[in-house]
Structure 1
Amino acid sequence: MIRLLFLNICLLAGIALSAKNIEVKNIDELHKANKAAAPGDIIILQNGEWNNVTIELDCKGTAMQPILFKADTAGKVRITGHSRLLIGGAYIVVDGFYFTNGFSGKTPVIQFRDANKEPAYNCRVTNSVIDGYNNPKRLEDNNWVLFYGKHNRMDHCTIQDKQNMGVTVAVILDDEKSRENFHSIDHNYFGKRIPLGSNGGETIRVGLSQHALFNSNTMITDNFFEHCDGETEIISIKSCSNIIRNNLFKESFGSVVLRHGDNNVVESNVFLGNGKDGTGGVRVINKGQWVVGNLFYGLRGAGFRSPLAVMNGVPNSPAIRYVSAQDAVIANNTWYKCEPLAFCEGSNTERSETPHNIWFINNIIAGSDLAYKTFDNTDGFHFAGNQLSHTQQQLAAGFEFTQLKNVSIGKLNFPVATRAAPVPDSIRLLAGKKLLMDISTNAGFYDTKKLESVIKNAYDSCGAKWLIAAIKTNNKLTYTCKDAAQLAAQLAETRADITIIRLTGTDYEFTEPLQVNKNITITASSKKIRFTSKTKLAAVFEVNAGSYFTLQGLNADLAGLQAENFILTEKDGNTAHVNINLTKNSIAGFTGNILKASKSSYADSVVISQNNFNNTKGTLFSFNNENDKKSFYNVEKLYINNNTFNNHEGQILAMLREGGDESTMGPRVWFNKNVLN
């Protein structure tokens, strides 16, 4: 026995001694090392910038001895320019890579499949970052991470600031090599994703509609999703038997959507809306979905973004369309200070099949005047043991008022049940096979230690901890300009983060459009200013991508101005958005568009407030160039409030969104307290 133990120790020592540390300083050396790599080898990439590289890894390690490709110092291997990472082979680990200051075109940034389309098995990307690695144009589609193969993992990575069209992380199920894959997406930080204004802005998607009946068995666990606002679906599940567990969703403009596929589990997640508009919970469609033990806090979404939306379906629907919710268990959840839940959401002449055999049991709904809304017949729901603090509506059987006890975890204060309710034996038996937790006789989310664990994990353990957010100090400079030439020169030369330009002259003759970049505010004294041109201009101000443009306090006579548009957004469809603010101006005599959004441009916010528009002609505000019937639009939030329109000939607002896509909810328009004379 002693001799056998000694032999095993010697064998392991021999294996360890055969493994090598190999340092590489360029892409050729890296590919050579990949071809020669043996199990247990460690290939160390030299710190520095790796520009315009395609890193292809297809070697094969073992479970006991994976092959490690690591940055010499995590975060110091900066992968820039037109670059990407392809992983095939088996038992490969990638550690500490930093994708920044570049883009990957139509291809993914990271793909678990090599150039010969051979998928990866048991491979891992860890402790790495993709930060703002966007294609230049907003509607140029690509996904950042594509999973193929089986048993692959992405963990402790930071993935943030995706702005162009395409899913951030997608699991592909094209063939048997990638189905029942048991991938793990865990302990990652998914950071800010601004609204896309189109379908294709999901943070994670598992499968496609044509894969609805295939098992993926992907686990999305212990991640932190913060300000993931790309579209209605933060996580889009389009396959079967996936698990979404122990994640924190903070102030994200959308929901976890069980869009296609059956038997998925959403368990022990925390959704912190904190009162942010559009924050949603879970949307339930298809068969056998379980939503158990989640806390929903301060969610303000409605419709498809409701804190819970249980959907109607299309009668005899194919799997790729809208199968009504069936055989679902929704239990031990708490909704606190949320908008109403939605039962039979989406009911219309097409989606006319109501949910069937929905067990909505032992939940808590508190802190809201309206607990839920019903949009069709709810006879297919089994309501039991649900407790409410108060409501102003008549309740169905299975809901009751009760005294709840408030508990505090850090800054969170939420109610827990003070008495129990039974759970059907059939549900309890199934729960033992599907869940980590037990179905409790106590209503609502009751595990305060779980809440502490989810929040602590999100802040302490998610993402690449070597990435330190830059602390940006904005410098602000103020200038005066007495004529159009000075104004044009100042706009062209500005280097400050925030520039304020005060117009001190009375006559401004423009010869070409002025380019607005960065954060520009133009203001003036109360005296009247004349804007003129001798030739026809496309615009006076062209607002480029990423700019914040404010006109405030101008008293401007534009009668002598020959221009199609006073303000025109960028024409190239760039990734970065614009923001425009017109406040407390008096604008007179203009014929044309005061503000026109170019095709493919996108504004996060346009505010038009407390202005006087006098003797104007044409369409003042035009957002109607997206005419491809793809549900694209040009502005997420448009506020036209407290303005006066005197003697205007034509339309005030032209807004167009064509198409039937339901994954986005914009544009959102507020038109309040305006006076038309």
Structure 2
Amino acid sequence: MSRIVKLVKTFLPLIALSLPLMSNAVAAKQFKVSSQEQYSKTLKKVQPGDTIVLADKVWKDFEIVFKAKGTKAKPITLTAETSGKTILSGNSNLRLAGEHLIVKGLVFKDGYSPTGEVISFRRNKDDLAYHTRVTEVVIDHYSNPDKFESDKWVVMYGKHNRFDHSHLVGKSNSGVTMAVRLNSEQSQENHHKIDHNYFGPRPILGSNGGETLRIGTSHYSLSDSFTIVENNYFDRCNGEVEIISNKSGKNEFRGNVFFESRGTLTLRHGSGNLVEENIFFGNGVDHTGGIRVINGDQTIRNNYLQGLTGYRFGSGFTVMNGVVNSPINRYHQVENAKIENNTLINVDHIHLAAGSDKERQAVPVDSVFANNLIVNDTDQDNFSIFDDVSGIEFDNNVRSNVTEPKLTEGFSDQNITLEKADNGLLYAKDASEKVGVSPALKVLDKEQTGVSWYAKPGREEDFDQGKVHQVKNADGLYKALEQAQSSDVIALTKGEYILDKIIPLTKTLTFKSLDSDNVATLKISRSTTFDIKDGGNLKLKDVILDGQYAPDSAGNAVIRTSKIPMLDNYRFIADNIQVSGLDINHSFHFFDVGNRSFANEIVITNSSFSKITGDILRLDKEMDDLGIYNGEYITLTDNVFESIQGAVAKVYRGGTDESTFGPHFTFKNNQVISTGKGKRNKYKASLYLHGVQVSNIEMNEFSNSAGLVIEHTVGEPQTLVKSNDFIATPKVDVKELNFPGEITATLTDNHYQAAAKK
């Protein structure tokens, strides 16, 4: 017995020491759940180290609340059974609360969140997440169908959280894609990390509220966030002028790539932020921008910017003027900015003291612009100086030769030869190593971001890339429509097609004559012929549209967009079409848009329009003056408009918001004859442009027509009316509605005469 007692005394301490290890090993469990009820029951019993596995299936209308408390060594995990095969659809979302949680592998698509957030790092305003990680999740076109019902996809609260290696693409409704909130002490100085995410294409919103990432808000912008945003890929993020809107202090933006994204990384509010080692590839795409600097103590160094076309607040590089004694929500003065060792190649515009006006008079002070490399293919100076910049010290900058430079001190102008380095970036062959970006700068590969198991989107579907369906009559046309896929072509043989059905368009389709010398005639016999809905894009080429058989009712339209507000942007292109006989009753329009619809582009070329009682283009449905509008690029060239009782175009963008680039209106080489004089044309104009930000009206002939009415609503619109002939037509009427004084439009080389020459 004494020997047994001795053995027990010897091994008992060892057994006691091993019990915690054994209990820990036993405690770590994996629970697979296949229903919402199972999930709720399982969540109540998970312990540190446990994992809940959501079964591979479509989980519809699942509002997940993941509230638990793990430890640093033993987090609690919620994961997909197979990454990418656990789908959250319908009205689903995810709320996290507690500590040391991990979420992985989920996909949100085919629906939208019933609340204002898809993934929220809080359960409610008092129950937040800390030391929590969300990784390898996908949110794909999970947008509220009401385009201007604002929501957010990912919102970070609490502290020490991480969002990484995730894929966010296709947010079409209002609201920032991802946000960091500082609206309580528990969420300030949060030390979050946002890294290795793929922020995929975000379409133009046509309004404020389309940022891709925002950190803070103006109300809490004097607070520090300490958020790190690094190694993310921003691919064609085009929502609005601010791709990233920084509205707090002490954040770091490092190693990110911005690819063909319209807008800028904007230091809108907050001080002491760092922007370094970021890459901006514009590739000449319209409105691609770089970095906009506001507020104090900002450091911008070792960034590479190439091929950027943006200007003003969306330029390749902008240093703003501030407001004297600025309120918290306006523009604080730039002080102690350090702008060093950046490379700018073929950046069209560098704006200093931008936004200078009666309100923004606080010029940049105590700042440095040094050791930067600036190279352009042309000899045009890309600097624009809007106010006193003596508060910026320019030192040791190298610039390619320009004619009549606005800045000379601190710049060395040289003939610069560029060569591509191993990292794919361009460097000046003979410049000092102290100038421009470091040779060691790394360029993030897109495939290093997001997830490997979910494809990243390519280019948008385009016209004329698919199958050609040859048809001979209206019945054949309707059958072809049922069979056609996006990018297909409906090819019409010569003949008369009486269209007695409304064609709902939810695909990208082209309707064209098979032979451009023997065109088909489409006879309109309904109140509308083409009804563009979500997913629809329309191209018409080499066809005649005739209103002879249209119903005798007011308000017909050959083409319209959905009467229900649309979520998807659309395109319309017309080339070499003839439209006539839209006069069966008053207000017969060619193209009439619905409220809350948005065209990426409308292009009409080489076409003729005659005998029409309504308007050609009606893009004036957003009358609430909130900066919302119906089309980004409207282009009409080489057309003839004759005997149009309404206007050729009515384009309206109300309000004074500065967060969008458009609308853009181009009207060149057109003839406008006896147009705009109908009694129902309330603007009494052949062209009515309200709040259009970029207008180019050039080399047109207006005869016996109503005049041009142009109303400016925002500062610094770009309006050019040049080399037009006005015969028996009033002079151009330009009004400055919100900025009284001299008109800002450029009116040059226009010719007026009382009557046409015989």
TM-score, normalised by the number of residues in structure 2 = 0.81
Residue by residue, what CA displacement relative to the aligned partner does 1:444-478 show, whole Å, maximum 9, x if unpaired? 112x3322xx32xx334211112135899975241
Tell me, in whole angstroms, the C-alpha distance in 2 between the residues paired with 1:669 and 1:617.
23
* Superposed counterparts of 1:330-409, under 5 Å: 330-368=339-377, 369=379, 370-394=381-405, 395-402=407-414, 404=416, 406-409=418-421
Query: Does the C-alpha gap of structure 1 residues 105 and 635 become closer, same or farther in structure 2, counting only changes over 3 Å?
Result: farther
1:482 aligns with 2:473: yes
Sort the Cα spacing of 1:75 and 1:502 in 2 relative to 1 into closer, same or farther, 3 A: closer
| 2-structure distance, mates of 1:397, 1:4 | 79
Superposed displacement of residue 234, structure 1: 0.7
Q: Give 1:607's aligned amino acid.
A: V
Identity among equivalent pairs (%) = 34
Contact 1:239-1:262 within 8 A present in 2 as well: yes
**Matched residue SS, 1:32:** helix
Matched AA of 2:339: I
Q: Do 1:31 and 1:57's aligned partners in 2 also have CA atoms closer than 8 Å?
A: no
- Letter of the 1:640 partner, please give it: L
Deviations 1:296-354 (A, max 9, x none): 01111111111111011222211211123222111110101111211011122222222
Matches within 5 A, 1:429-468: 442-446=434-438, 448-451=439-442, 454-455=443-444, 458-468=445-455
| 1:253 counterpart = 2:268 | no
The reply to whether residue 547 of structure 1 matches residue 541 of structure 2 is no
Amino acid in the other structure paired with 1:401:
D
Distance 1:383 1:4 in 2: 73
Counterparts of 2:306 and 2:548 in 1: how far apart (Å)? 53
Q: Match of 1:95?
A: 104
CA-based RMSD: 2.5
Aligned twin of 2:336: 327
SS of the residue aligned with 1:449? Answer: coil
Q: Which runs of 5+ in 1 are unaligned?
A: 421-440
Contact 2:492–2:520 (8 Å) recurs in 1 = no
Select 1:241's aligned residue among 243, 247, 250. Answer: 250
Aligned equivalent of 2:684: none
Asked if 1:658 is matched to 2:650, the reply is no
Summarize the alignment of residues 76-155 of structure 1 with structure 2, pairs less than 5 Å apart: 76-115=85-124, 117-155=126-164
Of stretches 617-626 and 263-272 in structure 1, the one that deviates more from structure 2 is: 617-626
Whether the 8 Å CA contact 1:158–1:190 is kept in 2: the answer is yes
Asked if the contact 1:334–1:365 (Cα under 8 Å) also holds between the matched residues in 2, the reply is yes
| Closer/same/farther in 2, CA of residues 63 and 532 from structure 1, 3 Å limit | closer
CA contact under 8 A between 1:50 and 1:79: conserved in structure 2?
Answer: yes
Pairs aligned (count)? 645
Contact map agreement 1:255 1:282 (CA 8 A) in 2? yes
Inter-partner Cα distance in structure 2 for 1:350 and 1:20: 62
- Go from structure 1 to structure 2 and tell me whether the alpha carbon gap of 1:152 and 1:527 turns closer, same or farther (over 3 Å shift): closer
Matches within 5 A, 1:548-567: 548-562=537-551, 564-567=556-559
Tell me whether 313-322 or 401-410 shows the greater mean CA deviation.
401-410
Task: Please name the residue that 2:278 is paired with.
Answer: 269
Correspondence for 2:210: 201
1:646 and 2:642 aligned: yes
| Matching of residue 637 in structure 1 with residue 624 in structure 2 | no
Q: Is the 8 A contact 1:416 1:443 kept in 2?
A: no
Q: Compared with structure 1, are the counterparts of its residues 411 and 649 closer, same or farther at alpha carbon in structure 2 (3 Å cutoff)?
A: farther
Instruction: Output the CA distance in 2 between the equivalents of 1:78 and 1:168.
Output: 20
Q: What amino acid maps onto 2:558 in structure 1? A: F
- Residue by residue over 1:155-195, the C-alpha shift from the partner in whole angstroms, topping out at 9 and shown as x without a partner, is 11111111111111011111101111111110111111111
Question: What do residues 57-81 of structure 1 show as CA deviations (whole Å, max 9, x unaligned)?
Answer: 1110011111111112211211122
Letter in 1 for 2:387: D
User: What do residues 181-214 of structure 1 show as CA deviations (whole Å, max 9, x unaligned)?
Assistant: 1111101111111111111111100111111111
Structure 2 counterpart of 1:468, one-letter code = A
Choose from 594, 598, 618 the match for 1:598.
Answer: 594
Q: Which amino acid aligns with 1:624?
A: D
In the alignment, which of 181, 188, 192 is matched to residue 172 of structure 1? 181
SS in 2 for 1:85: strand
Give the CA deviation at 1:240: 1.2
Higher relative contact order (CA 8 A, sep 6+): 1
In the alignment, the residues of structure 1 paired with residue 24 and residue 520 of structure 2 have an alpha-carbon distance, to the nearest angstrom, of 84
**Structure 2 unaligned blocks of 5 or more:** 1-11, 674-758
Q: CA deviation at 1:482?
A: 2.4
User: Could you tell me which residue of structure 2 aligns to residue 501 of structure 1?
Assistant: 490
CA distance in 2, matches of 1:137, 1:478: 35
Query: Post-superposition shift, 1:481?
Result: 4.7
Letter in 1 for 2:657: D
Q: CA deviation at 1:631?
A: 0.5
Report if the CA contact (8 A) 2:213-2:243 is conserved: yes
Q: Aligned pair 1:19/2:15, yes or no? A: no
Partner residue of 1:569? Answer: 561
Change in 2 beyond 3 A, CA 1:540/1:530? closer
Give the SS at the match of 1:30.
helix
Counterpart position of 1:431? none
Q: Which moved more, 1:642-651 or 1:576-585?
A: 642-651
